[in-house]
Amino acid sequence: MNLNRILMALVIPIILTQCSDKDLSEIIVSDAIMYVPIEGSPMTAGYLTVTNRSDASVDIEGINCDSIMAEIHDISSTDTGVMKMGKMNTYSLKSGSRLVLEPGGKHVMAWGLQQIKSEYVDCSVLVSDADPVKFKFLLKDRG
């Protein structure tokens, strides 16, 4: 995982904000990268940061991508120390705080990327009682 962290640090952050009069335009997605799947693998992982610059808490409910299937996953360990992952429950993101998805922790799991030939994948973070926050994952090869 160390190599992944080094690669993450080298990626130029992509900050995509939406032009909107709503306060929730202050939900910012940054550093969104997704790894191209290893050959023969149906799935891959993506990482991003969601920052809440609005004055209110917001509930992050998940993710939706136009061309692939994706879920936000959380990691937990059982009593016997076995790591498990599953779909993240609704996450309350307080005003002024960040939700960081990074290797070894919460992450985006994606399926169906094999056919994608473009450099980016269009996705949205789903926020309760608000429009989805659109952003683009930059596709990266695993180094």
Chain residues that interact with Cu ion, rule: CB under 5 A:
73, 85, 109
Minimal distance, residue 62 CB to Cu ion, in Å: 13
Which lies closer to Cu ion via its Cβ, residue 40 or residue 118? 40
Which lies closer to Cu ion via its Cβ, residue 28 or residue 65? 65
CB contact at 8 A, 51 and 24:
no
- Cβ burial, residue 73 (10 Å; 0-12/13-18/19+): middle
Residue nearest Cu ion, Cβ-based: 73
Which lies closer to Cu ion via its Cβ, residue 111 or residue 120? 111
Minimal distance, residue 12 CB to Cu ion, in Å: 25
Q: State the DSSP code for 67.
A: S
N residues, the chain: 143
Euclidean distance between CA atoms 37 and 98, whole angstroms: 27
Minimal distance, residue 43 CB to Cu ion, in Å: 8
